Structure 1
Amino acid sequence: MKSKSLVLAFGGMIAAAAAWAIWGSDVFPPERDPTGDPETWTRGEMRRWLAARNLVPQDGSTREELLARVLANMRIPRT
């Protein structure tokens, strides 16, 4: 009886560790920021870039409006 309890406890710890490894980490990691020229980004990439910076875009924004907003909020490269 005692060994059965130990086996069940050990199995429970293994199951808990496996569950944490699966659900505790990023199963689907977030997409990376788009790179390159914003003029070539898709509408979804511009929306993701703005949302990552808490500049939540409106649902009805056109591609041109999003592009203007991205360009206005990009950092100036240091020389």
Structure 2
Amino acid sequence: MPTPIDRAMQSRNLFLGFAGIVTAVSLWSIWGGQDMFPKPEDPKGEPENWTEDEMKRWLNARNLMAGSSATKEDLLARVKANMRAPRT
């Protein structure tokens, strides 16, 4: 005579319920949780001290397209021209 545990182990509903929970947790961790690839923060400090990569990243984050042939001086001029004045 089968015990209640034997009947539960052979139940499709139990298996489908467990599979649904695992699927839901997996989907939440992939799409609903945190950003898997968080955006890098803006560089801090004065733009004169930023590297070329930091200036390009800052410009590209604002859709100002840095350009691959721009010199460091060109990038610095574009960054300074597009920086907002500090609020006082």
State the TM-score bracket (shorter-chain normalisation).
Answer: 0.7 to 0.9
Please name the residue that 1:41 is paired with: 50
1:15 corresponds to: 22
Moved more, 61-70 or 19-28: 19-28
Task: Give the gaps of 5 or more residues in structure 2.
Answer: 1-6
TM-score, length basis structure 1:
0.81
Deviation at residue 5 of structure 1 after TM alignment: 1.6
What is the total number of aligned residue pairs between the two structures?
79
The aligned amino acid for 2:73 is E
Pair member with larger Rg: 2
Instruction: Give the TM-score taking structure 2 as reference length.
Output: 0.74
Matches within 5 A, 1:1-79: 4-24=11-31, 25-79=34-88
The percent identity for this pair of structures is 44
After superposition, the C-alpha distances for 1:7-55 in whole angstroms (9 at most, x for unaligned) are 3222322332232233214112111111111111111111111111111
Highest relative contact order (Cα 8 Å, sep 6+), 1 or 2?
Answer: 1
User: Could you say what the CA RMSD is over the residues aligned between the two structures, in angstroms?
Assistant: 2.0
